């Protein structure tokens, strides 16, 4: 027999990171951050768990790749580190799950609160920041997505199965059923399941009827949308983040259900600007992004921001895009006669083609639907007789080049990005931004969300980025320095 005489505190080493989690959470003003105590049902039962205890459970769980509330409940009863961290409290899975659901605002604020400590430890510079997005799956399988044009077919298919099972139940011979009971005993259960599906389809039909503009309905997570990631399409979200160059810490995050990054640049730059104000940083920040963020209106607006120098790959300058273009065969216009090969004359407001012919502006332009950007068309009226016409255009009226009202600003911006300095800056983008995504998705396996709904998903992603920063800080700063920084607060 072995008799344990050690106390729980003796089992946890002095430099165990759970001691930092405990001290850090105890120092936070959780009420100010928006956390609230669990509400007792009609005043009955034992006292509610403190938000600090439940927050410690989640921080420990996410650090150790445990996100399920049921698994966290089990760990509270058998994990020595969690026992020490919570004072041997064992909340049930529903209490743990409700805490995450009911405190999403406070959970989101934890991310920014921890950045203040990172700044105090001189881990942030905000001199150079990379912005990018990644796709994460939602709690909505492809089988649980319904299209307007297919809902009638699905309803018909379910009805046909119900009728088939009803016929089978009626036609089963009692004698045969006694001999071959295993063949038909599941029919009532299957029939009940199909009737549930029928009720669900009927409900979704009413939703389509009440929303004429709705074409696709995501039944489980209605805020999710189709997202393409690594040539796979899933229901999910587009997760944005901005990473500081100095120590690869995430300084801004957001979640959108838009399938691309075209309208996210200013959103991220504005979030970084707010952080700079909070931290008292006045130095200029270089913000860089890939070609997926190249929207002319977004770039012109972002380039005017104070204390920011923005660099974004132009799609035609991006290596990935160049590779895609070379894969297309027999494309018109062919190489040497693409839009970039036409020289713009600012004085005369005309374009000159590679063969020396002039393209003049056609009319006053038109407003593009959606973003309201004015576009212009420049047409070559002298394409007839050109020996290279078949390489340039199939348009009977002549070659057309389309531009926006931001032609001058975008040309200057592109020249800046293609300068020697611009190329060196953009070359650093991948090595900055890919580190967090690789850690979160590949190493930790956080490729999907546990929560449902954009607001809850946004809070969960914010918490994941906080956990990434926390783990990164554990690597960068020794334990004694970390503990001293908390005590000085």
User: For 319-347, what is each residue's pLDDT tens digit?
Assistant: 555 555 454 556 788 888 988 899 999 88
Q: What is the pLDDT of residues 391-405, one digit of tens each?
A: 999 888 899 999 998
Domain co-membership, 399 together with 335: yes
Domain C-terminal end among 182, 199, 218: 218
Q: Are 456 and 104 in contact (CB under 8 A)?
A: yes
Q: Look at residue 256 and give its three-state secondary structure.
A: strand
Query: What residues contact 408, with CB distance under 8 A and at least 6 apart?
Result: 346
Task: Using the CB atoms, write b or e for 203-223: b if 16+ within 10 Å.
Answer: ebbeebeeeeeeeebbbebeb
pLDDT of residue 175: 47
Residues 235, 131, single domain; the answer is yes
Pick the last residue of a domain from 218, 236, 256.
Answer: 218
Domain count, the chain: 4
- The answer to whether 453 and 221 are in contact (CB under 8 A) is yes
Q: Kind of pairing, strands 128-137 and 366-367?
A: unpaired
**Ranges of the chain with pLDDT below 70:** 1-5, 38-46, 169-187, 319-330, 488-489
Q: Check whether residue 98 and residue 23 sit in a common domain.
A: yes
Tell whether 57 and 91 lie within a shared domain: yes
| 302 plus 248 within the same structural domain | yes
Is 95:54 a contact under the CB 8 Å cutoff?
yes
Q: Is the same domain home to 283 and 431?
A: yes
Both 447 and 385 in a single domain?
Answer: no
Q: Is 88 exposed, middle or buried (0-12, 13-18, 19+ CB in 10 A)?
A: exposed
Cα separation, 51 vs 67, in Å, equals 17
Q: What is the pLDDT of residues 411-459, one digit of tens each?
A: 899 999 999 999 999 999 988 998 899 899 989 999 999 999 999 999 9
pLDDT reported for residue 41: 42
Q: How far apart are CA 52 and CA 74, in angstroms?
A: 19
pTM assigned to the model: 0.86
Q: In terms of DSSP bridges, do strands 225-229 and 232-244 run parallel, antiparallel, or are they unpaired? A: antiparallel
Question: Quick one: 436 and 447 in the same domain?
Answer: yes
Q: Is residue 1 in some structural domain?
A: no
Helix, strand, coil shares of the chain, percent, nearest 5, are 50, 15, 35
In a domain, 16, yes or no: yes
Same-domain pairing of 61 and 208: no
Q: Are residues 36 and 22 in the same domain?
A: yes
Nearest to 198 by CA among 155, 141, 166, 165: 155
- Element containing residue 237 per DSSP (H, E): strand 232-244
Are 17 and 93 found together in one domain?
yes
Which DSSP string do the residues of 367-431 spell out, in sequence order?
EPTTT--EEEEEEES--TT-TTHHHH---TT--EEEEETTHHHHHHHHHHHTSHHHHHHHHTHHH
- 130 and 267 in a single domain? The answer is yes
Residue 60 contacts residue 53 (beta carbons within 8 Å): no
Assigned domain for 107 exists = no
Q: Which domain holds residue 352?
A: 321-409
């Amino acid at each position: 027999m072995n008799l344990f005489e050690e106390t729980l505190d003796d089992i946890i080493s002095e430099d165990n990171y759970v001691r930092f989690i405990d001290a850090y959470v105890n120092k936070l003003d959780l009420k100010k951050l928006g956390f609230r105590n669990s509400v007792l049902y009609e005043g009955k039962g034992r006292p509610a768990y403190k938000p600090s205890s439940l927050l410690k459970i989640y921080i420990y769980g996410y650090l150790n790749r445990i996100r399920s509330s049921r698994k966290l409940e089990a760990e509270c009863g058998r994990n020595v580190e969690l026992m020490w961290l919570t004072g041997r409290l064992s909340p049930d899975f529903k209490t743990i799950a409700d805490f995450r659901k009911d405190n999403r605002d406070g959970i989101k604020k934890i991310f920014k609160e921890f950045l203040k400590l990172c700044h105090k430890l001189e881990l942030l510079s905000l001199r150079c920041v990379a912005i990018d997005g990644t796709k994460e799956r939602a709690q909505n399988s492809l089988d649980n997505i319904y299209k307007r044009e297919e809902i009638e077919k699905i309803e018909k298919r379910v009805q046909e199965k119900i009728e088939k099972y009803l016929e089978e139940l009626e036609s089963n011979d009692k004698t045969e059923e006694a001999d071959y009971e295993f063949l038909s005993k599941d029919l009532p259960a299957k029939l009940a399941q199909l009737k549930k599906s029928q009720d669900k389809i009927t409900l979704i039909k009413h939703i389509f009827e009440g929303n004429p503009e709705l074409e696709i309905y995501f039944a489980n997570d209605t805020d999710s949308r189709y997202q393409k990631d690594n040539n796979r399409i899933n229901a999910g979200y587009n997760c944005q983040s901005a990473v500081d160059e100095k120590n690869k810490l995430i300084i801004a995050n957001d979640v959108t259900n838009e399938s691309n990054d075209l309208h996210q640049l200013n959103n991220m730059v504005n979030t970084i600007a707010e952080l700079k104000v909070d931290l008292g940083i006045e130095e200029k920040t270089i913000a860089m992004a890939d070609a997926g963020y190249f929207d002319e209106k977004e770039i012109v607006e972002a380039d005017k921001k104070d204390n920011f120098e923005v660099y974004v790959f132009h799609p035609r300058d991006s290596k990935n895009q160049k590779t895609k273009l070379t894969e297309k065969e027999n494309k018109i216009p062919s190489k040497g006669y693409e839009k970039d090969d036409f020289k713009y004359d600012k004085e005369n407001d005309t374009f000159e083609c590679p063969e020396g012919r002039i393209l003049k502006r056609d009319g006053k332009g038109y407003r593009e639907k959606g973003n309201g950007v004015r576009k212009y068309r420049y047409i070559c009226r002298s394409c007839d007789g050109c020996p290279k016409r078949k390489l340039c255009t199939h348009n009977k009226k002549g070659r057309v080049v389309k531009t926006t009202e931001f032609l001058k600003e975008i040309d200057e911006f592109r020249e800046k990005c293609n300068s020697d300095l611009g190329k060196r800056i953009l070359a650093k983008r991948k090595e900055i931004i890919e580190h967090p995504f690789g850690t979160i998705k590949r190493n930790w396996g956080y490729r999907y969300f546990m929560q449902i709904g954009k607001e809850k998903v946004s809070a969960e992603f914010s918490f994941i980025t906080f956990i990434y920063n926390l783990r990164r800080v554990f690597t960068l700063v020794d334990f004694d320095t970390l503990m001293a920084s908390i005590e000085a607060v």
